[in-house]
Structures are given as structure tokens and as C-alpha cells.
Copies of this chain bind each other. A is one copy, B any other.
Amino acid sequence: MSLKYSSRSLRITWLGLVTIMATFALTRAFRLLPAARKAIMLPSTDCAGARSSSSAASAIRSSSPTSLITRFMSQTSSPISLTDEQKAELELKIKVKGEVIRSMKEQGVSKDELSPHVSELLSLKALLNPPSASSKKGGGGHEEVQEKQKQRQQQQQQSKKEVEDPESDYITPRSENYSKWYNDIIRVCGLAETSPVRGCMVIKPWGMSIWDRIRTDLDARIQEHGAENAYFPLLIPKSFLTKEAEHVDGFAKECAVVTHHRLTVSGDGKGLIADPDAELEDPLIIRPTSETMIWSMFKKWIVSHRDLPLKVNQWANVMRWEMRTRPFLRTSEFLWQEGHTAHATAEGAIADSKDMLHQYADMCEKLLAIPVIKGAKSPSERFAGALETFTIEALMQNGWALQSGTSHFLGQSFGKAFDVTFQDADGQQQDVWGTSWGVSTRLIGALIMTHSDDAGLALPPRVAPVQVVVVPIPPRKNDEDGKVALDNALNKLVADLKGAGLRVKVDDRDYVRSGAKYFEWERKGVPLRIELGPRDVKDGVCVFKYRVGSEGKESVSLKDASAKATKGLDDVQEFLLESAKERLAAGINTMATYDQMKDALEKDEASEYDGPGLYLVPWKCDAANEEKIKEECKATIRCYPTDVNEAGMAEGKKCFYSGEDATHMALFGRAF
């Protein structure tokens, strides 16, 4: 029994080894091909970034993931001449890829899963021996035209293959291209997919389940906070935007405008057009956020001090017409919750916005195992219309920050813009103070970039759609008794696990081999896998394998399984949080001069640096200097962290940029 597991485990190790070798070879190959490397290092600036034939101007695009190779090939319009060293690298890579494929075949992975690897192998071979490699360069002769046609055909075929196989399971290593790794994780784990509409994504079931879980956890906190759910219209009269002067600047530039309420057949009868007879007198915009709509209702709902505080929240979709999008991090449409509160006093409003920020931070830690830094935004980074914007900033694995939730103290700006007043206890009319706060599907991006690795997603158990996957290993074909025994043990095990409140999935697909199942669920980030084979049943045990936090497999008595799983999953949750906390602590440089920060961030830009990415420095609040630093080294003030500023850490210090007296401790860094 134990021998069997070791052999299986050995095979996996071998697969891991060749994967590492392949990765290594790939990385080196690209070091040697600067043009190719450049093509790959180009940050994917939108949802369509991972696709083959995308044009920035086209509003609707086809969508298909593209392998590194295809991308490389499509970037290369003429045959390449390779040095001997480059050829040797390619040959090594081809050999290693061959090993990978053989090993995968041994593991029994399906044809569908193999096919991208085979495609890559063929592409590598084509790269080594391009059909035109022997033809002469330059000129415009018949041969070259033919060659180009051939190449185009080949590219089209490759492209079609990719379209037909969106399940390519290749994950770019983080060390090679963090941005591409991120996109690969999203594709390979089935979290989201590009849609036919520019900048909008389809959130697939695995991603949606994570969002639903975030929603459930946060919704309870929001109710506890005293806000009630409501729903406000998707469309907003455009005149509303103009009521709050800063707000219009912030949002008019990037909104979807509804101008007609009907389509009709076009004059030539060939298609549909917006019906000119159905033009709206006053266009409507799709909400980028709902302050204006909600304050227009608050005006009706707030009369007396007894109506305050008034707290509403909505779970909704919003739209901001982003030019550069990235799945979860920045998409034109996204899902979020937006809370809006009205108060009789400034103190009440500030306390409310701080309390929600605390809820967000606590949810990130407890549910998502993401430690965050709480702070206030600098004036130039505030929400359009707010007097103060509080934020939680998380550190991603690549050293960049991700703004993960914000809470705004709106002062009386919206109260005045929408003429919302209340009668106080003395009968006097007063202006109303406000807040708004929200988190979005962006949190899924934070989750990915906090815990996952080159093997795929790693999910904290509390937010995992499936906490335990059970993989039964079928007995020999004719072993009927064994089948019955396995079924019985399996049913009992699953009932126990579910009884302990765990989310369990049994993967009993008979057309996928066990190794492929392990590979798949590991990639999808399921925290615990339990294997159950005929011999295990006889021995009264099952085999635990955790996604992270502990090496190797563990044989566990069937009767202890649910208790051990519960404990083990708690440990995984703790492990992920502690690891992330350690990384956050190590990721903040508190001693840097401005030049040191600039130098490090320049090296980071060139992927030649892996030190701390965040800089906690004494700072004199100054929008012009902030802008200069952003231009010079792409770093922005993520926040003025609350704890160190409240402790007076900036006192007596000089600004690390201007040398003047510091007003704050500021956290600088690159951000998504």
C-alpha cells in the first residue's frame, strides 16, 4: 500500500521536475531572444490581452487564450535566424516538452488536456525548423509570398486550435511573467473569461462561487453594521452627475450612455440600428456608482433627526468605461456592494466610514487570509466628491499594492448638492453628512495574487467553493465485493465530512484517471484532497493531501477523517494568513531614501529586483511632488497608514523627497 502511494507520488515528483526543467529552459530560451521576451513581457493591459488577434480599437473581439509560442509567432512577422546557442536551447526545450507529454500520458490525462502541450511542442519544432528558414531573406519574390501565405495559414490553424481549446492548462511561472501568470491562473482555474463585449468579463462558476461566499460573509457584517439592503436603478439621468462638481469630473469621462430605447431594421434591411424615432430626450448613463441616485432618494426619506443615521447598501453591477482592463482588477463592468449612509454629525459619518473600513479589513483577514494596511488616501487620490477616503491596501506577491476596499467620508458635499436637510432636536434645519463604502470583485484578484503559486490557485478553506475533494480509486474491474466495500466506505466518509459542515465534492468521473484528477483539483486550489482506494478501505484508512501548508501525504483513519479534516483546514487557513502576514512585514522598506526607492523600482520594472516593494517614508503632503514621483518612478502613495500616523511616527522627521518637515508617514509603492 505505502509502496503504491510512493510510486504515485514519485511520478508526480517526476512530472514536477520536468515541468521545472521546461520552465527553466523556456526562461533561458527567452533570455536569449530579446524580441520574443519583449513580446511576452508586454503587460496584458486588458481582458483581451491574452488573445491572439486583438485590436485596441475594435469594440467586440473574438476571445481565445494564446500560448506563449503563438504570441511569439504572431509578434514575429518574418522568419527568424537563430544562433547555434539559441538552437541548442530550443532543442533542449523540445526534448523536455516531449518528456512532459510522455509523463502526462502515463498519468492518464485526457486528450483534451494534452492537446495544448502537443501544440506547443509542434510550435517549438516549427520555431526550430521554420519552413522558410532556408529561403533567402528580403526581396519580394514569389517564394517569399508563398512562404508568407503558408505561415499565415499555419498561424490561422494554430489560432483556430487555440480557439477550439480554451482549456490549455499551461501556467506561466511567476518568475517569468507575473502578469501572464495571473491571466493563466484565471483561465486555467476557470475563474473568469473574456466576453464578446470590450472590457467585460464572464465570471465562471468557480470565480462566482468565491464572490458569492464573500457576499454572504460581508452581507452579514453590513447588516450588523446597521445598513439595510435596497436596490436603486441601473440608469441615472445625466443631469444628476453635474450636481456634485468634483463627482462629474471623476465619472463623466468613462460612462456608458443610453440614448435610444428601441432598435429597428436599418434602411437597407440588413441589420438593426438604434431607432431614430426612439431617441431619449435626456440620455441616461449606466451607474458608475450610485451616490447621485441614492442622495436624490435620501432627500425624500430624510426629514427629521429621527430618520438619521440612515444606512442603505446595495449589491449591484456598475460600469466604468475603462480603456485598459484586466480580469477582476479593472473591468468595464464589475460587481460590488455600495453602502451609503447619512448622518446628523460629521463625527457620526467619520465613525461610520472607519467602522466599515475595519469590517473590510477584518473580512479580508478572517475570510480571505489577506492581511491589509488601513490608512487614508492623500488628497489627490480621494474619491471624487469625498473629504476623506479611507482604504485597505494589500501586498501582492510581486511587491505591488492592490487597493482592496475604500470607505469615503463625503462631508456635506452630496447633502448640499441634493439639498438634503433634516430638522434637528431644536427644530433647526441642518445639512446632512454622508459616507459611502464599497468592495468589489477585485477582491478575487487580491485573493489570487496573495496565495496562489505556479501550480495554480491556492484557496483559503473558508472561501473555497470546495474544501475537500474526495477521489475514490476504483478496484479492479471484476472485484464486485471491493466495489461495494468502497462505495460503502465512500458514502460514510462523505456523510461524515458533510456532517462536520465541510463543503465536499466527490470526483467519481470514470473517464479521467486519478492522477489527472489530482492535478486538476490542485490547480483549482481545493485545500484538501482525500484519496480512498480498495486497500485503504480494507485498512480502514484514507489518504490526506493538503494543497499548501504541509508536505506529503498522510494516512488517516476513516473514523477520524472528518475531525482531522476540520482541524487541518483550520490550520491551512491559519498558515495562509501567517504566510501572507510575514510577506507583508518583509515587503515594507522603512529605511529607504528617495533615490534608493527610485533605483529599486527601476530595477523592479526591469524584473531585476525582488526586494520589498512598499516604502514607508516621512512625507510632506504635496500634490505636485506626488505627481512628480509618479512620473519619475511610477510609485504612488497607497495611503497614510493609520496606525503609524496615529502613533505620531512622522513627528520631527523630514520629508524623504522635499526635505521639509514631514506631515505624515506615507506608504509608497507600485499598484495594480
In this complex, the interface size class of chain A, counting residues with CB under 8 Å from chain B, is: 35 or more
Within 8 Å CB of A228, what residues of B? 205, 208-209
Contact B264 A255 (CB under 8 A): no
The 8 Å CB contact of A60, one of B255, B282, B303, is B282
A239 near B: Cβ within 8 Å? yes
In the complex, whether A284 has a CB less than 8 A from a CB of chain B is yes
Q: Is A582 an interface residue (CB 8 A)?
A: no
For residue A122, CB closer than 8 A to chain B, the reply is no
A237 touches which of B197, B205, B242, B261 (Cβ 8 Å): B197
Is A317 on the interface with B (CB-CB < 8 A)?
Answer: yes
Closest Cβ of chain B to A169, distance in Å, is 15
A603 at interface by CB-CB < 8 Å: no
A319 CB contacts on chain B under 8 angstroms: 234-235
Name the B residues within 8 Å of A484 (CB-CB).
Answer: none
* Residues from chain B with Cβ under 8 Å of A166 in the complex: 300-301
A606 lies within 8 A of chain B by Cβ: no
Decide: A263 near B235, CB < 8 A? Known: A282-B60, A297-B193. Answer: no
Which residues of B have CB within 8 Å of A237? 60, 196-197
- Tell me the complex Cα distance, A58–B280, Å: 9
Q: Are A238 and B317 in contact (CB under 8 A)?
A: no
A-B contact pairs, 5 of them (CB 8 A): A197-B236, A200-B233, A208-B231, A212-B229, A255-B262
Q: Do A257 and B252 touch (CB < 8 A)?
A: no
Q: Does chain B have a CB within 8 A of A283?
A: yes
Interface residues in A241-290 (C-beta closer than 8 Å to B): 241-242, 248, 252-264, 271-274, 280-286
Map CB proximity to B onto A377-388 as digits: 1 under 8 Å, 0 otherwise.
Answer: 000000000000
Is A203 in contact with chain B by the CB < 8 A criterion?
yes
Contact A257 B286 (CB under 8 A): no
Neighbouring B residues of A333 by C-beta, 8 Å? 233-235
A50 close to B (CB within 8 Å) = no
Check B59 against A281 for contact (C-beta < 8 Å): yes
A286 touches B234 (CB 8 A): yes
Residues 311 to 345 of chain A near chain B (Cβ within 8 Å): 312, 316-317, 319, 321, 333, 335
Given A195-B297, A234-B286, A333-B233, A262–B272 Cβ distance below 8 Å?
A: no
Asked whether any CB of chain B lies closer than 8 Å to the CB of A240, the reply is: yes
Interface residues of A in 286-309 (CB under 8 A from B): 286, 293, 296-297, 300-301, 303-304, 306
**Cβ < 8 Å to B, chain A residues 185-203:** 193, 195-197, 200-203
Q: How far is the CA of A79 from the CA of B262 in the complex (A)?
A: 43
Contacts of A193 in B (CB 8 A): 297, 300
CA distance A333 to B261 in the complex (A): 13
B259 A259 Cβ-Cβ under 8 A:
yes
Residues of B with C-beta under 8 A to A274: 257, 259, 283
By the criterion CB–CB under 8 Å, are A256 and B263 in contact? Answer: no
How many chain copies does the complex carry? 2
A233 to B196, CA, bound (A): 9
Say whether A252 contacts B272, CB under 8 Å. Answer: yes
Known A282-B60, A317-B316, A317-B317: A238·B263 in contact at CB below 8 Å: yes
A262 with B271: in contact, given A197-B235, A205-B229, A230-B208 (CB under 8 Å)? no
Do the beta carbons of A202 and B233 come within 8 Å of each other?
Answer: yes
Q: Which residues of B contact A236 (CB under 8 A)?
A: 197
- Residues on B with C-beta less than 8 A from A651 are none
Whether B202 lies near A242 (C-beta < 8 A) is: no
CA distance A265 to B668 in the complex (A): 35
List which A337-395 residues lie within 8 A (CB) of chain B: none
**A24, CB-defined interface residue at 8 Å:** no
Question: Chain A, 576-606, contact with B by CB distance < 8 Å: what is the 0/1 string?
Answer: 0000000000000000000000000000000
Which of B211, B272, B301, B306 contacts A241, CB < 8 Å? Answer: B272
Provided the pairs A195-B297, A228-B209 are in contact, do residues A234 and B317 lie with their beta carbons within 8 angstroms? yes
Specify which of B229, B285, B293 is in contact with A263 (CB 8 Å cutoff).
B285
A5, CB-defined interface residue at 8 Å = no
Complex contact B253–A321 (CB within 8 A): no
- Residues from 47 to 72 in A contacting B, C-beta threshold 8 Å: 58-60, 63
CB of A204 within 8 Å of the partner chain: yes
A212 and B297 alpha carbons, distance in the complex (Å):
21
New A-B contacts (11) at CB < 8 Å, excluding given A233-B333, A255-B262, A256-B258:
A60-B282, A197-B233, A205-B312, A234-B234, A234-B319, A242-B271, A252-B263, A254-B261, A256-B261, A316-B317, A317-B317
Does A232 make an interface contact (CB < 8 A)?
Answer: yes
Chain B neighbourhood of A203, CB < 8 A:
230-231
- Per the bound structure, the CA–CA distance linking A345 and B312 in Å amounts to 46
